[in-house]
Amino acid sequence: MIIALASDHAGYEMKMAIKEKLEKEGYEILDLGTDSTESVDYPIYGKAIGEAVAQGKAEKGIAVCGTGIGISIAANKVKGIRCALCTSVEMARLAKEHNNANILAMGGRTTSKELAFQMIDEWFNAEFLGGKHQRRISMLDEM
């Protein structure tokens, strides 16, 4: 499975820790940048991860900026993307079960590495429940 990763400067260190974790677990990583802690603009990276997932270059994505807010807003501008900004393991699970989120966003400045890893594991292991949730996803896709 290919996982896209993207961050701005504030999420760079978290992105690199996530990349190391996922590579050890056998995932192929599509690293869309940034490549340092030098200041950059998060919309560039949110758009890049959104397009990569929407175009099928990766099955899932993980986006990180300082709070996760900006990069998730940018990713959600791409048609077909359901990027969920999560701050707890429960939110990560529900993002998949109820919203079929295809990108998980988090804050590099607001989320511990341990919590980030727990959220990723929960999101990866959760399954979309369909049913009434599919009706709602279809409504989102029509917007």
- pLDDT of 73-94, one tens digit each? 999 999 999 999 999 999 999 9
Could you tell me what percent of the chain has a pLDDT over 90? Answer: 97
Q: Which of 65, 83, 86, 133 is labelled catalytic? A: 65
pLDDT, position 142: 87
What is the amino acid identity at position 111? T
Nearest Cα to 18, choosing from 121, 138, 91, 122? 121
In the chain, beta strands by DSSP E: 2-7, 28-31, 60-65, 83-85, 103-107
DSSP letters for 113-138: HHHHHHHHHHHHH-----THHHHHHH
Number of domains in the chain: 1
Over residues 40-68, the pLDDT tens digits come to 999 999 999 999 999 999 999 999 999 99
> Can you give the CATH number for the domain in which 95 is found?
3.40.1400.10
- Active-site residue flag, 133: no
Q: pLDDT band at 102, cuts 50/70/90?
A: very high
* Paired residues of 83 in beta bridges: 103
Over residues 20-32, the pLDDT tens digits come to 999 999 999 999 9
pLDDT, position 66: 98
- Active-site residue flag, 83: no
**Residues of the domain holding 92:** 2-142
Full-prediction pTM beyond 0.85? Answer: yes
What is the amino acid identity at position 2? I
Query: Contact, 65 vs 9, CB < 8 A?
Result: no
